[in-house]
Amino acid sequence: RRRDPSSEYPRVGRRAAARNAARIGQKTGVAPPAGKRLAKNLRTFGAHGVERRVPLRAFASLQQLVAWAKRAPRNCRVLGIEIGERAVSCAAPGVFGTPAAPTCFLPGNEGQGLLESQIALCDGLVYVPQYASVTASLNVNAATACVLSWFAAAVGYAEVTREGAKYVVKDGLHALWKPK
């Protein structure tokens, strides 16, 4: 069963935002009408306000999303997150370029991974190495989080400040939230 991509947003959105994503693209099947925000069409419960902090952009097709990411001024390369013969470990030195290039990541589907037509849109594939033979693969959110963490380290992002058991979020929206 293919999951509704909008149901993945809270998990993937939080992981991408925590690793300094500049933007999140979402294939919705149809572009939202002019003036409507994509966040209104996504299930954002559990995203903890990420939809208000990281810009979202809707695309009618994956091909449109990839073409947009590759065009100037973004000039991103597209890396699929998939286990496969052509895939390179996300832990391999220089896998993200030296220096790391602007990159758009395309995670596979939970059950099937990336389809051949999706792999054809990618400039390369990366996978998360496993060190025990107890499962065939990680779920898509866990694999995406691992790849994004390796990318953040390769780019040299500085870890943000922690207070207690949480990271300090610096924005006006977070300052308004008061725990009960």
Mind listing the pLDDT tens digit of every residue in the chain (180 residues)? 344 444 555 555 655 555 555 555 655 555 555 444 544 555 555 555 666 666 667 777 889 889 988 998 889 999 999 998 999 999 999 999 877 788 989 988 877 889 999 999 999 999 999 999 888 888 888 898 899 899 988 888 888 889 999 888 776 554 444 554
Q: Is the pTM of this model over 0.75?
A: no
Sign of the Cα pseudo-torsion (86, 8, 49, 26, in order): positive
Helix 140-155 vs helix 5-18: angle between axes, to the nearest 10 degrees? 30
